């Protein structure tokens, strides 16, 4: 994090070769991420941050209110985990007798957690479980959508990206965010279509969006869902 005068927010700098201008984003944990094009002088960010300081404070305050109103989202120690994409609800049971931090019992949709684990240790264990669940679900799902659309990819990986739901490389490698499991199934399918369309059009040109529309008529609606979905993710799924 870069430290600034007290009246300006601290931030983490991210350089993106595809960025055309400076972008500000507040993560679910309240961290400000500033994305800049390559070569942008960091010294010029001060006035930009000064103009947006009130916006950053407002977003953080709204996040705090939302998390306070919805403990299942804001809490670090959930009692239930709902994976909307695959219609699964997992009970989380805390006890002091576990040999491991977390034990998954799939038939019972139960996660047994050592109650003695701290929040960071518990969060890491839950993320490992979510990663394994996503790796079992998302690649086969992508393969099915690929077969349906005729859009071919070369390989697929699942990670816990900080700021993207998915990406596609020039070589046809698709990377998917494990947190997609928290989204509605229709929205996940749209994201898969979106990334598959990048195997033909790497940019977001008119031709790309025409390709998307061929396979997902409600893509505009799903884009809106994606833009808001990050606010509804459980806090524990984001690494510190």
Q: Burial of 78 by CB count in 10 Å (0-12 exposed, 13-18 middle, 19+ buried)?
A: buried
Q: Tell me, what's the pLDDT at 62?
A: 73
d(CA 12, CA 6): 16
Q: Tell me, what's the pLDDT at 159?
A: 94
CATH assignment of 74-237?
Answer: 3.30.2010.10
d(CA 57, CA 8): 10
Q: Tell me, what's the pLDDT at 128?
A: 96
Q: Tell me, what's the pLDDT at 188?
A: 98
Q: Which residues pair with 12 in a beta bridge?
A: 33
Where do we find the tokens 């600034």? 4
Assessment of whether the complete model's pTM goes beyond 0.85: no
Q: Tell me, what's the pLDDT at 146?
A: 98
Q: Tell me, what's the pLDDT at 70?
A: 54
Q: Tell me, what's the pLDDT at 233?
A: 86
Q: Start-end ranges of CATH 3.30.2010.10 in the chain?
A: 74-237
Query: What does the chain come to in residues?
Result: 240
**Average pLDDT of each block of 10 consecutive residues along the chain (240 residues)?**
60 88 82 90 88 85 64 70 96 82 94 89 94 98 98 96 90 97 97 98 95 97 91 80
d(CA 140, CA 118): 34
């Amino acid at each position: 994090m870069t430290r600034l005068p007290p009246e300006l927010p601290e931030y983490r700098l991210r350089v993106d070769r595809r960025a055309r201008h400076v972008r500000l984003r507040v993560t679910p944990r309240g961290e400000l991420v500033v994305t800049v094009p390559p070569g942008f002088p960091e010294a010029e960010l001060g006035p930009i941050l000064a103009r947006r300081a009130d916006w950053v404070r407002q977003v953080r305050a709204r996040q705090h209110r939302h998390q306070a109103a919805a403990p299942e989202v804001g809490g670090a120690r959930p009692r239930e985990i709902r994976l909307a994409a695959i219609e699964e609800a997992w009970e989380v049971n805390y006890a002091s007798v576990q040999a491991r931090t977390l034990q998954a019992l799939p038939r019972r949709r139960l996660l047994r957690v050592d109650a003695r684990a701290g929040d960071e240790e518990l969060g890491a264990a839950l993320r490992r479980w979510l990663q394994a669940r996503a790796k079992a679900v998302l690649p086969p799902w992508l393969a099915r959508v690929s077969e349906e659309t005729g859009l071919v990819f070369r390989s697929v990986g699942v990670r816990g990206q900080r700021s993207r739901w998915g990406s596609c490389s020039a070589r046809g490698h698709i990377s998917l965010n494990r947190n997609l499991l928290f989204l509605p199934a229709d929205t996940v399918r749209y994201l898969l279509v979106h990334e598959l369309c990048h195997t033909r059009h790497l940019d977001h040109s008119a031709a790309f969006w025409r390709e998307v529309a061929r396979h997902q008529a409600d893509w505009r609606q799903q884009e809106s869902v994606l833009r808001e979905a990050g606010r509804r993710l459980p806090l524990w799924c984001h690494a510190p």
